[in-house]
Amino acid sequence: MRAPAARVGGVEILPPRVMTDWLTGQVSGAEVVVSERRIGDLAGVFADAEAFARLPADRVVYRTECILGVPPGTVGGLFWGTTFIEPGTVGDEYFMTKGHIHAKPDRMEAYFTFCGAGLLLLMDAERHCRAERMTPGSTHLIPAFTAHRTVNIGEDVFSFGACWPSDAGHAYQAIADAGFAARVVRSQGAPRVVPNESTVCRH
Ligand code: M6P
Ligand code: ZN
C-alpha cells in the first residue's frame, strides 16, 4: 500500500511511482504497460510446426510488464520491465521469447533474473551463438550488435528484469528470416543448446 506524501523541511516526499517485487519481478504502478505473446503470435518461431499447430493459439507463452516513461525513440531515456516466460515446450523446444536485435544495433541492454531457470541466447553479427545461464540474481550485459532471446528451461515461471535505452527499438525481421543459429531443446530431461538446422553454432 502506498504511503501518503509527507513534507519534511519544506520538501514534499512522494511515495514511489513504480514498485518492482524483487522476488517475483512483478512491476506495479499506474504507468505499467502489460503485453502478452501467445502461441498464435509466435508462428515460425519454433522448429516443430506440427507440435506448434497442436497447441491452443490463445495459450500465453510470455508476458511483459514495462515502464516506458518517455516515448519510444527518445534519445537518452531508459525503459524498465519484467518478462515472465511460462514453463512449457513446443515439441522438445522450450518456451522462449521471439528474440530481437535492436533497431539501433549499437545499443546495449541489461538483464537480471528474479525467479526460475533460464538461458540467455546471444548471437553476434557473424551468427556465432553463446548461452548464459540465468538464475535468481544473475546479471547480464547484452553487448551491442548482438541478437538476444531468453528461454525458460525450468518447470516454473521464469522471470527476469530488463533495462534498455528508449531509442534502442526492436528489429524482429532478421530473426524471423534467418532465426538464431542455435536452439535450446530438452534432451533426456535436460537443456541442450544445439545448432539450428545446418547452421554451425560455436558456444
Ligand atoms: C525484455 C526486453 C524487452 C523485450 C522483451 C521480450 O523484456 O528485451 O525489450 O521486448 O524482453 O522479448 P521480445 O521483444 O524479443 O519478444
Ligand atoms: Zn533488447
pLDDT tens across 104-139, in order? Answer: 999 999 999 999 999 999 999 999 999 999 999 999
Residues having CB closer than 6 A to ligand 1 are 64, 81, 83, 97-100, 109, 162, 164, 170
Amino acid at 12: E
Residue nearest (by alpha carbon) to ligand 1 atom 2: 162
Can you give the pLDDT at residue 197?
Answer: 75
Determine the residue of 27, 100, 113, 148 to mutate for testing ligand 1's pocket, defined as the one with the most ligand atoms within 8 A of the Cβ atom.
100
Supply the pTM of this predicted model: 0.93
Ligand closest to Cα of 104 equals 2
Can you give the pLDDT at residue 200?
Answer: 42
Can you give the pLDDT at residue 8?
Answer: 67
What distance in angstroms lies between residue 2's CA and the mean position of ligand 2's atoms? 31
In this prediction, the residues of the chain whose per-residue pLDDT falls under 50 are 198-203
What is the C-alpha to C-alpha distance for residues 107 and 120, in angstroms, rounded to an integer? 17
What is the C-alpha to C-alpha distance for residues 125 and 83, in angstroms, rounded to an integer? 25
Determine the atom of ligand 1 nearest the C-alpha atom of 83.
7
Ligand closest to Cα of 64 equals 1
Ligand closest to Cα of 105 equals 2
Residue nearest (by alpha carbon) to ligand 1 atom 3: 162
